[in-house]
Amino acid sequence: MSGFDPKELLAISLQCVDREFPYYLDHTFDGPMELHRPAELHPAFYGCFDWHSAVHNHWLLLRIRRLWPELDADGAARRLLDAHLNPETLGVELAYFDNPNNGAFSRPYGWGWLLRVHAEAVATPGPEGERWVAALAPLRDALAAKLADYFATQLRFPIRSGLHANSAFSMLAGLDTARAIGDLPLAATLVETAGRAFLSDRDYPTWTEPSGGDFLSPALTEAALLANVLEPAEYADWLTAFLPGLADGTDPVLQPPQYARDASDPATVHLNGLLMTKAWAASRIAVVLPDGDPRIGVLTRTVTAHMEAASDALDDRHYHATHWVPTFALFSHAAMTDAGISLSPAST
């Protein structure tokens, strides 16, 4: 990937969202009569290798259409969104969660991404956005309620992994989207839960990162969440206690991981995404720090280093990479834009 190119990301995603196979099916079978194809179980989100990747690729399509509408001049993304985001297909998706065996399906990662899809549809102007919002709303509301209940009452201890179960990443998805659409009860629940789960954390052992299959930094993801929970002054003090090596740039989490690229391996290719999500999280932290805080410069350099290391992350078009990495390229770019961080001409 020679640089951030939304046209390229759109093209890759369009090849993915309707591709049913290969597919990783995470499903509990009650009996042989439940042996169905992915497109029958999930008529909206059957592509992109697995359910959660299909969900966040729809976020990518919606966001690119909103920010760069000229890239969908032929209407390919619009037609696909209409085919997938309608009351019939999403009704089947909603009914899937009614089965007690599937109640925790894709929890919490896929739920958080579905909330982001809905919020992006809300931000889409015109009748198309209204149509997609109306179709998504029942599933969004059901998963928002499940997310709130899971974090507030079911999860006694936060999950600090670098994979899909990471609590902070999905809490932030819920918080971002709740604030965007005015769901104040969900936002309040997640703020309270995040404080209870993470506020007492100190001296995070960043030397333990990354694990070989991580696509998130537990440390930076938690810090990005708290950046959106605490008041700026309180957050600056919390961050000092949580990552004391941040100000002088000595914390190892600030450095891109060194590894041998292998997009054919589903675990190793996660590290490509890790480069981008660390840039995303560092951008989310930097944007809330007060002017003059030396950590802003440190974090800005961290963002640049990680995105430069990820600059060829899509050159290998193996499906283990292309079914999900484009979303994270766009996701990270959005956070960098909000923070006013841009790459040098050599990297774009």
Say what the pLDDT of residue 3 is.
Answer: 61
Taking the C-alpha atoms of residue 196 and residue 343, their distance in angstroms, rounded to an integer, is 36
Taking the C-alpha atoms of residue 104 and residue 118, their distance in angstroms, rounded to an integer, is 20
Say what the pLDDT of residue 344 is.
Answer: 53
Taking the C-alpha atoms of residue 167 and residue 218, their distance in angstroms, rounded to an integer, is 9
Q: Is the peptide bond before 108 cis (omega within 30 degrees of 0)?
A: yes
Res 112 pLDDT > 80: yes
Say what the pLDDT of residue 206 is.
Answer: 96
Res 331 pLDDT > 90: yes
Q: Give percent above pLDDT 70 in the chain.
A: 98
Q: Which of 48-57, 61-70, 312-321 has the lowest mean pLDDT?
A: 312-321
Q: How confident is the model at residue 347 (pLDDT cuts 50, 70, 90)?
A: very low
Res 2 pLDDT > 50: no
Q: How confident is the model at residue 345 (pLDDT cuts 50, 70, 90)?
A: very low
Q: Which of 6-15, 30-39, 257-266, 291-300 has the lowest mean pLDDT?
A: 30-39
Determine the average pLDDT of the residues in 56-81: 98
Q: What is the pLDDT of residues 73-107, one digit of tens each?
A: 999 999 999 999 999 999 999 999 999 999 999 99
Structure tokens at 200: 């007492």
pLDDT, the chain, mean: 95
Q: What is the pLDDT of residues 222-250, one digit of tens each?
A: 999 999 999 999 999 999 999 999 999 99
Determine the average pLDDT of the residues in 11-30: 95
Q: What is the pLDDT of residues 270-298, one digit of tens each?
A: 999 999 999 999 999 999 999 999 999 99
Q: How confident is the model at residue 169 (pLDDT cuts 50, 70, 90)?
A: very high
